[in-house]
Structure 1
Amino acid sequence: MTSSAIAVSGLRKAYGDKVVLDGIDLDVRAGSVFSLLGPNGAGKTTTVNVLTTLMKADGGTARVGGFDLAAEARSVRSIIGVTGQFAAVDDLLTGQENLQLMVDLKGASDRVVPELLERFDLVESAGKPAATYSGGMRRKLDLAMTLVGNPRIIFLDEPTTGLDPRSRRTMWTIVRELVADGATIFLTTQYLEEADQLADRIAVLDQGRLVAQGTPDELKRMVPGTHVRLRFTTGAELDTAARLFSGATRDDDALSLRIPSDGGTTSLRAVLDELDRNSVSAEGFSVHTPDLDDVFLALTGHTTEAAK
């Protein structure tokens, strides 16, 4: 596999007059987590369906694992795993039988079944029908089935939607372990925290168009709003500090002062030195930077919640 696990150029897809993907470009590095972030209807699932050969694009080119998506679809399918939005498990089969079915279909070794049951903490429930599994257990079983055959590129389409916080964090741990083992993860999500926690790079998709790409920190730096927040014990200290910093915003109820900053050590040191020169003592300070919700709002004009 080359350094690019997935390379996409000018990808287009439309249904009649409705353009779903409007010429998107992506480059996913091998051994990384790449997150496609966007609200419902942005085109995330369509992108996954095209890149996993489930749907043909109307235009553009793509290579997955070095194979041309259009000309070498069978080779692409041989190296990928896909976990869709909804768990693709057979409710009438037990967890172990679901895994065995995938082993038989892919011609993999039977030894992988107990290994995956152990890895995903499903040993105790292995003999129970999947219909009795909780949402988190079903998602874990679904991902375990995806890993049969040891795919090196794994597509996870909103894998934690509907899960409780504990199950979601369990899935995050599994994703990190997969990457540590050398896999490449293509993750779609509408959860900003999830992309921030997991992704090496993020692409923001809105109405079929990519509006930004970069690391989480790079995207956050695109939006102004980084500031130093000082807390004081008395109103007199707050008054004095407020006079020292032009452009600062005070909060009298919280006895705090918000000072615009780039968040770097030089600017932070300048603030503390100015307080020291004027014999003003702050009870505490913290540096605040924009989060991905701020980025999404700035890029698209709405938050992900409002866009759902």
Structure 2
Amino acid sequence: MQPIISISNLTKTYKSGHQALKRVDLDIRKGEIFALLGPNGAGKTTMISIICGIVNPSSGTVTADGHDIVRDFRAARTKIGLVPQELHTDSFETVMATVTFSRGLFGKAPHPAHIEKILKDLSLWEKRNTKIQELSGGMKRRVMIAKALSHEPQILFLDEPTAGVDVELRRDMWGLVRELRESGVTIILTTHYIEEAEEMADRIGVITKGELILVEDKSVLMQKLGRKTLTLNLSEPMTTIPAELGEWALTLKADGNELEYVFDTNAERTGIPSLLRRMSDLGIAFKDLNTRQSSLEEIFVNLVHTPAGEAS
């Protein structure tokens, strides 16, 4: 399937000499939720700004639904909705007026029913005649989302959309994201709330220091780079780990009352059964056991602190 966004050899160097993006290549599939993760200053917002035509690239090409973002800017931009990090909208306009005006900017014919649905989905309908300056910060964020959706884009960028907003808006927004994805809209989001990416995303991209170091299906990423921890609650405390258990690299915890075994998914079928058999042979009993899988956040932190070339 032809990607809805295709990025090839994209770079961006500012006049100060700072290289924000370094030869980024990325294809984003139609209808997926793609989460772009990276620390502050990694290049996430720069990449989004280039795709949306806000920042000019230094080199490389980007197409949106087959339209080159430079040569065919108007057609490409019509396909895109953007919810930026910063709140900026006309303070003296009403909610209805500013969202309706945004639709007109893209040359779309009036569609009151569509605007009404968006405002209701974002719990803004009761505020439709309220001036923007009178809204709370969370409500202003909702207006930004409504504006981005006003022209029925096929691609929606959400740049830190839930940063500093209330739980209710976060819940409303993720419900709307799922609904949009079901209708075929492609969602690209950046977020500091990595648990949201873990719950929502189909694929994960990790960018650091301007380099896209990894792009992977979320489930494959969790399987390849995730770790599991087996904790055994011992029937009797231990002071030292017997040499016969050395091959499992165990750790004593909780004053000798727990044995901890950290393993990857490849060792799950063989490592645990053989460990438990050896413990039984040695007469080491345990009362309980549990396993915990590493989170996407732990994988992300490990990736961005791994020297280039070692991430795989």
TM-score, with length taken from structure 2: 0.84
Q: How does 1:101-120 map to 2 (within 5 A)?
A: 101-105=101-105, 106-120=108-122
Partner of 1:52: 52
Gaps of 5+ in 1: 303-308
Partner of 1:266: 269
Q: Structure 2 CA distance, aligned partners of 1:103 and 1:290?
A: 40
SS of residue matched to 2:259? strand
Q: Is the 8 A contact 2:227 2:265 kept in 1?
A: no
Q: Is the 8 A contact 1:37 1:189 kept in 2?
A: yes
Q: Is the 8 A contact 1:223 1:290 kept in 2?
A: no
Shift of 1:222: 5.3
Partner of 1:289: 294
Identity over aligned residues, as a percent?
Answer: 30
Partner of 2:143: 141
Shift of 1:168: 2.7
Partner of 1:79: 79
More divergent stretch after superposition (241-250 vs 105-114): 241-250
Partner of 1:305: none
Q: Is the 8 A contact 2:229 2:293 kept in 1?
A: yes
Q: Is the 8 A contact 2:229 2:292 kept in 1?
A: yes
Q: Is the 8 A contact 2:24 2:211 kept in 1?
A: yes
Change in Cα spacing, 1:93 to 1:252, as seen in structure 2 (3 Å) is same
Q: Is the 8 A contact 1:230 1:256 kept in 2?
A: yes
Q: How does 1:199-218 map to 2 (within 5 A)?
A: 199-218=201-220
AA in 1 matched with 2:290: F
More divergent stretch after superposition (204-213 vs 132-141): 132-141
Deviations 1:21-59 (A, max 9, x none): 111111111100112211221111111111112222111
Deviations 1:210-240 (A, max 9, x none): 12221334444554743212234x4x1x539
Q: Is the 8 A contact 1:220 1:292 kept in 2?
A: no
Q: Structure 2 CA distance, aligned partners of 1:126 and 1:290?
A: 40
More divergent stretch after superposition (164-173 vs 238-247): 238-247
Q: Structure 1 CA distance, aligned partners of 2:101 and 2:226?
A: 52
Q: Is the 8 A contact 1:227 1:288 kept in 2?
A: yes
SS of residue matched to 2:162? coil
Partner of 2:25: 25
Q: Is the 8 A contact 1:108 1:148 kept in 2?
A: no
AA in 1 matched with 2:97: E
Q: Is the 8 A contact 1:263 1:287 kept in 2?
A: no
Gaps of 5+ in 2: 308-312
AA in 2 matched with 1:82: L
Shift of 1:260: 2.5
Q: Is the 8 A contact 2:233 2:259 kept in 1?
A: yes
Q: Structure 1 CA distance, aligned partners of 2:251 and 2:305?
A: 27
**2:228 aligned residue (226, 229, 236):** 226
Q: Structure 1 CA distance, aligned partners of 2:175 and 2:250?
A: 40
Shift of 1:193: 2.2
Q: Is the 8 A contact 1:204 1:296 kept in 2?
A: no
Shift of 1:273: 5.5
Residue 299 in structure 1 maps to residue 299 in structure 2: no
SS of residue matched to 1:296? helix
Change in Cα spacing, 1:166 to 1:242, as seen in structure 2 (3 Å) is farther
Q: Structure 1 CA distance, aligned partners of 2:125 and 2:277?
A: 59
Q: Is the 8 A contact 2:9 2:59 kept in 1?
A: yes
Change in Cα spacing, 1:103 to 1:256, as seen in structure 2 (3 Å) is same
Q: Is the 8 A contact 2:34 2:202 kept in 1?
A: yes
AA in 1 matched with 2:36: L
Deviations 1:196-218 (A, max 9, x none): 22221121111111122213344
Aligned residues: 298
Partner of 2:310: none
Q: Is the 8 A contact 1:240 1:280 kept in 2?
A: no
Q: Structure 2 CA distance, aligned partners of 1:276 and 1:90?
A: 71
Over 6 Å off, 4+ runs: none
Q: How does 1:170-249 map to 2 (within 5 A)?
A: 170-221=172-223, 223=225, 225-232=227-234, 234=235, 236=236, 238-239=237-238, 243=242, 245-246=245-246, 247-249=249-251
Q: Structure 1 CA distance, aligned partners of 2:265 and 2:213?
A: 25
SS of residue matched to 1:117? helix
Q: Structure 2 CA distance, aligned partners of 1:216 and 1:254?
A: 36
Q: Is the 8 A contact 1:83 1:159 kept in 2?
A: yes
SS of residue matched to 1:124? helix
Change in Cα spacing, 1:217 to 1:103, as seen in structure 2 (3 Å) is closer
Deviations 1:258-286 (A, max 9, x none): 11322465244555566667583432412
Partner of 1:92: 92
Partner of 1:151: 153
Q: Is the 8 A contact 1:11 1:25 kept in 2?
A: yes
